[in-house]
Structure 1
Amino acid sequence: MSINVNTTSTLYTLLSRQRQTAEVAGKLEAASREVSTGLMSDPYKSIGIRSAEALGLRARMDRNEGLMVANTVLQSRLDLTAETLGAIRETGQEVLDLAVANRGARAGTLGAIQGLARQALEQITSQLNTGYNGAQLFAGIAVDATPVQRYGEVNAGTGRAPKDVIDEVIGGGIASAADAAAKIAEIEGIFADADPDPARNFEATFYNGAPRLDASGAPVPRLQTRIEENETLEYGVQANDQGFRDLIRGLSMLAGTDAQSIADDGAYEAWTSSAVDAMASGLADVLQSEVKLGSQQKTLDFTIRAQTDRSDLYNSQILSLEGVDTYEAATRVAQLQTQLEATYSITARLSRLSFANYMR
């Protein structure tokens, strides 16, 4: 009578232990990750049919996070725009205060007006040409264009500098009240884009951003962006808005001629009064732009706060589905560590057996 005895070679046992060691190590790694993150290592396997709910929550949270990031960038852009508008008003107000003191009557500070106006033009031009994150703040949808042409620099599109246009109008100076009125009207036409010579108009030589009207005469849309799933925000201030046109017009009139050289009192009063009125109107409009921008900032701030709250809610709901009991996970880690150490010990003993043991 014969008896069959099933034996397992030590080589097979070693290989089996190595596979078991790898499995335990994998489980230990997953459990350790659960302890550190507080989330299941394989939630969709663990929660079964509720996986679709978890996937939906994560998708909504990702969309919400994307909107929050974009809105935060826009918030910084609007903050810089508001800061720049405030600086423009301060720059223009300094010239206006001096011009008002000399309106209609020549004061001792009259000689400083032309130089200060030129300086303010350069400063306001630089402020209006401010960019953020690679895009111009005051060029409208033409975000790559530098919106305002420097006063003394030739515009490549027309071959004229803004200073050239003003000098053409003023010519040899302001001779009389009638001469002043005619030249004031001509300058008003230029800044209203109504001059017979298109190359002299504001949006041709003075401004390079998005125009106010398109070729068909329809208003060119403003910048806008989606700040919520079903909400868009139109935003931005453009350097061709009426307030900037008036402000630059008044400054150009004061910078274009030395008011001291206007001998006729009627001409002097007409010229300085027109420049002062243009600047005052422009600064008032700039202030209104700041108010409108403040409303846009308030809307955006409210939206970001709501999105932050929503993100917290999504995160809480996801944790309720995919979260783990950290105490239970820590206990599992300890058990797996003990099991792994035992497996290592047995595997090490098997690996030290001789070739004869393997062939047994």
Structure 2
Amino acid sequence: MTTLGFGDLAQSNIMRRHTMQAKADLARLSQELTLGRAADTPRHLSGDMGPLLAIDTSLARLEGYGAVTRELALFAEALQTGLATISDMALTASNSLIAASGTAAATHVGTAASAAHAALLSTLSTLNTRFGDRTLFAGMDTNGQAMASADTLLTALESAIGAAGATDVASVEAALDAWFAAPGGYQGTAYLGSAPLAEVPVAPGEALALDITADDPALRKTLKGLAMAALVDRGIFPGQYELQKGLAQRAGEVLLAGETDRAQLAARLGGLQARLDQAQTRNESEAAALGMARTAMVEIDPYETATRLQDAETQLELIYTLTARISRLSLADYL
């Protein structure tokens, strides 16, 4: 019976360790040559991980900014779409009301007023549009609606007109102006949202707020014009066609004059969108530069790595050869 001495076991263990180390080196170098970067980063950087961790921290922060700016860009686009929809409806209603007021036919005024009433409903619906789980024009109160119903709005206006004792176009408009301006009027009854959205950081050292709500003066003016026409559709000044026609015409004029305000509001939003685009571009450029710097820190020299890989293969083949000789086994039998 053949026995193994202490020297044989020690030699076997040494060869086994050398074999495992050579295989590990071969696997690591093969991975590095394939990926083009160090498999053992701390070893590659001689333990000095500070600069790499600083880059990773900056990249993570920029990714956070990226998530914010992408969401804000979509939110702003939805706001811009809503403003464009409202402006188109207001301009169409304005043209119809002014044209109808220039005719003697009461039916034309009634038709235009009815269409403006429908535009009011659609405008309120647009102001209540949700983007994901947020209401576009409700400010900080993103969970609820921005606006009350058209019936709530018009009923409140009819009450204000009655309380003011308004009996002509000028006094009706004055009553509406007072109601839209009073804290307990538009803001207390029709606008259900809250303060505008606060600023959000979008890039290092820069923050912006998409602070457009249904409480904006341009939108209040638009709602006032549509509401004036809707009141005609609801039968204000019963039996007094000239007053109805006059109020319809004035509603068209208010809506037409409000086009400038709506355009300025859209332009202000466009300016915020441009700032978002610029912030995204800067963040992406900085992230690209940091990514290149990170790559340079962990990348390997392909020629040097290929040479070391060949050395590792040669070393492993030598170990196999020695092992085969020692144990009188062929390399094939060993594997």
Return the match for 1:276 from 249, 252, 267: 252
User: For residues 89 and 146 of structure 2, what CA distance do their matches in structure 1 show?
Assistant: 18
8 Å CA contact 1:99–1:113 kept in 2: the answer is: yes
2:310 is aligned with 1:321: no
Name segments (4+ residues, structure 1) moved above 6 Å: 341-353
| Equivalent position of 1:308 in the other structure | 284
TM-score normalised by structure 2 residue count = 0.81
Return the match for 1:75 from 73, 76, 82: 73
| Equivalent position of 2:140 in the other structure | 141
User: For residues 121 and 140 of structure 1, what CA distance do their matches in structure 2 show?
Assistant: 21
Q: Provide Cα deviations, 1:133-154, integer angstroms capped at 9, x if missing partner.
A: 42222111222221112213xx
User: For residues 319 and 7 of structure 1, what CA distance do their matches in structure 2 show?
Assistant: 49
Compared with structure 1, are the counterparts of its residues 208 and 339 closer, same or farther at alpha carbon in structure 2 (3 Å cutoff)? farther
Unaligned 5+ residue runs, structure 1?
A: 153-160, 212-220, 354-360
Compared with structure 1, are the counterparts of its residues 182 and 57 closer, same or farther at alpha carbon in structure 2 (3 Å cutoff)? same
Return the match for 2:192 from 201, 204, 208: 208
Aligned ranges 1:121-270 → 2 under 5 Å: 121-152=120-151, 161-169=152-160, 178-193=167-182, 198=184, 201-211=185-195, 222-258=197-233, 263-264=239-240, 267-270=243-246
Percent identity at matched positions? 24
8 Å CA contact 1:18–1:347 kept in 2: the answer is: no
Compared with structure 1, are the counterparts of its residues 334 and 269 closer, same or farther at alpha carbon in structure 2 (3 Å cutoff)? same
Q: Provide Cα deviations, 1:205-245, integer angstroms capped at 9, x if missing partner.
A: 2111114xxxxxxxxx6431112221111323110111111
| Equivalent position of 2:333 in the other structure | none
Structure 2 SS opposite 1:139: coil
8 Å CA contact 1:104–1:268 kept in 2: the answer is: no
Compared with structure 1, are the counterparts of its residues 316 and 165 closer, same or farther at alpha carbon in structure 2 (3 Å cutoff)? same
Structure 2 SS opposite 1:280: helix
TM-score normalised by structure 1 residue count = 0.76
Bigger share in helix: 2
8 Å CA contact 2:94–2:253 kept in 1: the answer is: no
The amino acid that maps onto 2:80 is: A
Structure 2 SS opposite 1:102: helix
Q: Provide Cα deviations, 1:139-171, integer angstroms capped at 9, x if missing partner.
A: 11222221112213xxxxxxxx22322343567
Unaligned 5+ residue runs, structure 2?
A: 330-335
RMSD value over aligned CA atoms?
3.4
User: For residues 82 and 304 of structure 1, what CA distance do their matches in structure 2 show?
Assistant: 19
User: For residues 283 and 121 of structure 1, what CA distance do their matches in structure 2 show?
Assistant: 16
User: For residues 103 and 119 of structure 2, what CA distance do their matches in structure 1 show?
Assistant: 22
8 Å CA contact 1:181–1:270 kept in 2: the answer is: no
Structure 1 SS opposite 2:150: coil
User: For residues 350 and 146 of structure 1, what CA distance do their matches in structure 2 show?
Assistant: 84
8 Å CA contact 1:247–1:280 kept in 2: the answer is: no
Structure 2 SS opposite 1:40: coil
User: For residues 9 and 243 of structure 1, what CA distance do their matches in structure 2 show?
Assistant: 93
Q: Provide Cα deviations, 1:243-288, integer angstroms capped at 9, x if missing partner.
A: 1111112112212233797544652354123322332243322211
Moved more, 74-83 or 162-171: 162-171
2:69 is aligned with 1:85: no
The amino acid that maps onto 2:221 is: D
Shift of 1:39: 1.9
The amino acid that maps onto 2:229 is: L
Compared with structure 1, are the counterparts of its residues 30 and 103 closer, same or farther at alpha carbon in structure 2 (3 Å cutoff)? farther
Moved more, 254-263 or 312-321: 254-263
